[in-house]
Structure 1
Amino acid sequence: MLSGELDLEDNPTPITLSQRPKSEGHAYNRFSPKRTTSFMGSSPFGKAESYQKLEQLGEGSYATVFKGLSSLTHQTVALKEIQLKEEEGAPFTAIREASLLKGLKHANIVTLHDIIHTKETLTFVFEYVSSDLSQYLEKHTGGLNPFNVKLFLFQLLRGLAYIHRFRILHRDLKPQNLLISDIGELKLADFGLARAKSVPSRTYSHEVVTLWYRPPDVLLGSTNYSTSLDMWGVGCIFTEMISGLATFPGMKDDQLDMIFRVLGTPTEDTWEGVTRYPNYDLKQFGLYPPQNLMTVIPKISFIPLAAHLASQLLQMNPHRRLSAQKAMKHEYFSDLPHLVHELPDAASIFTVNGLKLLPEMDELLNEMPKKPSGRSGIRTTLRV
């Protein structure tokens, strides 16, 4: 079921952009040179006494994440602990996450090292990563260094292209689920909603993806979707990194309206078949013309080709959305070393000589010399 390839193929309305929600604080540096594939038998893996639980990092809907220490390798780990109810057993989301992650080996996907099963808990032992994209955005407000946006985006696409190759959909892309290491490695995490897409196509729940990153076809009630579901989220995260604000920060009743205010209200002329979606009702929507993304997100106009790539990702019609593999080849990435396209799956892009994150604006400001008092001030020009 996991094999085979997918065929991936002038009066602007004022937009009020809200702040992103705070990061949930969960964080999952590299654990060991070997990936554990067996947690049974006399091996010290799979045993609770092999790990020391430290402080709590965050709490989700069905799990609590702790910072931990491995007595096997003496390195820091992240312990995702799920409380089990005797009458219910392990949550299905946990079983699904474990089954998917055990088979994934990629530099841009969080590594699952061990699983500990006791009567009371099910604990996943992940590599520890110090932060996530939401926390990074909170730390560096007002939008990120354009080159860093490019590095984060390329890594996100790289990880998605890998899982999409195996017909796996993440289904919950958001900044909180993108871990960021100290050197800037981005790793896809939290595969609790992920699932393998079977062939032939089946229907899926439309209650997937955090609201701000949920595509219009799903909001309209589509339950027959593919990798395009994740690609809408990529577009939202891309533009959010540039502006520092969520692009479509709606609520349950106005999320579609917020999207339509920017991209225009879809009709059969612009999106064939849209009127057949169960939640399509023009009486409930405003009739808006499409806006230029550079009007809504002014900062994007200063980054060559960024608006074009974003518009290819934020296509309301899912069949027109760019795939991860094709997005990686977009001209927007032409100034990255060609070697980033030739790396083995398990190799980080930061193994390419000279490739590294650049300082963010707030970091550059902190490094500026203090202006002397009086009239003899020094004028300093910053380039980002």
Structure 2
Amino acid sequence: MCDLMPAAQPAEKIGKMKKLRRTLSESFSRIGDCQGSDSLIKPLDTIPEDRKVQRTQSGFDPFEKPAGQVKRVHSENNACINAKSSSSGKESPKLRRHSSPSSPTSPKFGKADSYEKLEKLGEGSYATVYKGKSKVNGKLVALKVIRLQEEEGTPFTAIREASLLKGLKHTNIVLLHDIIHTKETLTLVFEYVHTDLCQYMDKHPGGLHPDNVRLFLFQLLRGLSYTHQRYILHRDLKPQNLLISDTGELKLADFGLARAKSVPSHTYSNEVVTLWYRPPDVLLGSTDYSTCLDMWGVGCIFVEMIQGVAAFPGMKDIQDQLERIFLVLGTPSEETWPGVHSLPHFKPDRFTVYSPKKLRQAWNKLGYVDHAEELASRFLQCFPKNRLSAQAALHHEYFSHLPPRLWELPDMSSIFTVPSIKLQPESGDSIQVCSKSKATSNSKH
């Protein structure tokens, strides 16, 4: 079963949030010297714009960025910044906790001019994304440049992302190297990862190699279990937010919508998670959710990796999204989902009554992989409390053929340090051409 999140008193929450805003706005401390062996990272595998799959969806989500502003090439965390564009503001004096190069004029961590801009990867509603290189150690970095408004201050999503990532140290979570705070911008400096799962699936359409799906899912659950044990929800799981290194290492990224345990469970927003990966309880207006929210997204991503198509690709609105879910899993009732009738948006007369089907009837490739259908069914449960937790999923029979040593690895050790673990070649390198209907629909990607 999914873990339950502890609740906090509203006064305690408000006090903590104010303290968090004040602390992070006044002084963004250096996270640490850039580390990791990204000298071996290969150039970005680019996909021609006119041949990309458009993973489209309806609007509704106020967290979504206008389609015209965002390229679906990368998550916002795959970014870099130009020294010229971000050093115009006055630097915070408390950001001078850095390593000491031999020369006083040498590049230093925590300074905007320590990074060379290489290319722009995308732009969102409040952040611009660049790929670049550190002048301190020559390593590739990713920078998310957040524009600050004088009257509004630092966007709270940026404060939340920075504060959460400072405390998350795991090989399957993107590493925050550095923070640069000027009058005009706040820049989060991440390790650079050359692609994401969405791009990877676009490059290898028709479903991924079963062994690679197993390794990707194991890493996703490993990183998610780590965050859930710290009472943190990601709340925006989707292929674009799962970065993939050239060696096959998967990293959770983009924690802008993540929430920590200090937020009372009954006041969460129900406008989270990209529509295709949003669970039915949230679609129906529930704001009382826990780690189960993320586990639905895991199930959708699992099916998509195996089948090669999105599990529930809603094309119209929330009603359409729910109909697609109920068509496979069955329309819920009080018997199958206690409390469903009390959810704000559940109106029995609005939904066709469907009986549940075996998942392989909807996604036939699940039947070709041992234990895949059973595991997917444990994630894709309409009743939230029935969904399998990340920690329990790591011990499912689906992973029984993996080396036992994987469960003994320290948090910061990659699964690829185990000699027998490696990605298998994917079959076919063709790029899937998007359909006209997908290309003309609104997309967050």
- Give the TM-score taking structure 2 as reference length: 0.74
3-state SS of paired residue (1:362): coil
Out of 49, 61, 64, the position equivalent to 2:125 is 61
CA contact (8 A) 2:3 2:290 kept: no
Tell me the equivalent position of 1:381: none
Shift >6 Å, 4+ stretches: none
1:39 CA displacement = 7.3
Gaps spanning 5+ residues in structure 2: where? 6-52, 57-70, 79-92, 99-107, 431-445
- Separation of aligned partners in 2, 1:7 and 1:355: 33
Residue 208 of structure 2 contacts residue 305 of structure 2 at CA under 8 Å; is this kept in 1?
yes
Match of 1:299 among 362, 365, 372: 365
Q: Counterpart in 2 of 1:276? A: 342
The answer to whether the 8 Å contact 1:39/1:46 transfers is: no
2:221 matched residue in structure 1: 157
Which residue in the other structure is 1:320 paired with?
Answer: 386
- Cα distance in structure 2, aligned partners of 1:301 and 1:317: 24
- For 2:191 and 2:247, how far apart are their aligned partners in 1? 15
| 2:306–2:366 CA contact under 8 A, matched in 1 | yes
- CA deviations on 1:348-368 (whole Å, 9 max, x unpaired) are 00001120000001159xxxx
Paired residue type of 2:55: R
Q: Does 1:25 align with 2:74?
A: yes
Opposite residue 344 of structure 1, the aligned amino acid is: P
Deviations 1:58-102 (A, max 9, x none): 223321110011011111100111111111111110000000001
Q: Matched residue of 2:95: which SS?
A: coil
Deviation for aligned residue 1:199: 7.5
Deviation at 1:203, TM superposition (A): 2.0
> Are residues 1:339 and 2:405 paired?
yes
- 2:200 is aligned, of 128, 136, 148, to 136
Work out whether residues 375 and 398 of structure 2, in 8 Å CA contact, stay in contact via their aligned partners in 1: yes
- Does residue 96 of structure 2 align to residue 41 of structure 1? yes
Equivalent residue letter for 2:341: T
Select 1:103's aligned residue among 161, 167, 172: 167
The answer (yes or no) to whether the contact 2:203–2:429 under 8 Å persists in 1 is no
Greater CA deviation, 117-126 or 230-239?
117-126
In structure 1, C-alpha distance between the alignment counterparts of 2:97 and 2:223, rounded to whole Å: 34
The amino acid across from 2:193 in the alignment is: V
Separation of aligned partners in 2, 1:137 and 1:289: 31
What stretches of structure 1 of length at least 5 have no aligned partner?
Answer: 9-17, 29-37, 365-384
Instruction: Compute the displacement of 1:225 (Å).
Output: 0.5
Going from structure 1 to structure 2, the CA distance change for 1:302 and 1:199 (only over 3 Å counts) comes to same
CA distance in 2, matches of 1:70, 1:121: 18
CA distance in 1, matches of 2:96, 2:129: 26
C-alpha deviation, 1:283, in angstroms = 1.2
Instruction: Tell whether 2:345 aligns with 1:310.
Output: no
> Aligned match of 1:264 in 314, 325, 330?
330
The 3-state SS of whatever aligns with 1:52 is strand
Report the Cα distance in structure 1 between the residues aligned to 2:397 and 2:365, rounded to whole angstroms: 19
Aligned counterparts of 2:412 and 2:124: Cα–Cα separation in 1: 28
Deviation sequence 1:184-239 (CA, Å, 0-9, x none): 00000000000102386442000000000000011111101100000000000000
**Paired residues of 1:24 and 1:60 also in contact (CA < 8 A):** no
Give the partner amino acid of 1:311: S
2:90 counterpart residue number = none
User: Which position in structure 2 is the counterpart of 1:125?
Assistant: 189
Q: Which has the higher contact order (CA 8 A, sep 6+)?
A: 2
How many residue pairs get matched? Answer: 342
CA shift, 1:25, in A, is 2.5
Cross-structure match for 1:369? none
The separation in 2 between residues aligned to 1:19 and 1:78, in whole angstroms, is: 24
Query: Normalising to structure 1: TM-score of the pair?
Result: 0.86
Deviation of 1:24 after TM superposition, in Å, equals 4.0
SS at match of 1:196: coil
Candidates 204, 210, 213, aligned match of 2:268:
204
2:398, 2:145 → 1: CA distance? 40
User: What does 1:106-255 correspond to in 2, within 5 Å?
Assistant: 106-198=170-262, 201-250=265-314, 251-252=316-317, 253-255=319-321
- The answer (yes or no) to whether the contact 2:3–2:389 under 8 Å persists in 1 is no
Query: In structure 1, what is the Cα distance between the partners aligned to 2:263 and 2:195?
Result: 36
Taking a change above 3 Å as real, the CA distance of residues 201 and 59 of structure 1, as seen in their structure-2 partners, is same
The alpha-carbon distance between structure 1 residues 200 and 254, as it changes in their structure 2 partners (threshold 3 A), is closer
% same residue: 65
Correspondence for 1:94: 158
Paired residue type of 1:23: R
What amino acid is aligned across from residue 72 of structure 2 in structure 1?
A: S
State how far apart, in whole Å, the 2-side matches of 1:245 and 1:219 are: 21
Residues 19, 246 of structure 1: 8 Å contact kept: no
The residue type paired with residue 362 of structure 2 is V
- Kindly provide the amino acid, as one letter, of the partner of residue 356 in structure 2: P
The 1-side partners of 2:206 and 2:165 are apart by 34
Partner SS for 2:353: coil
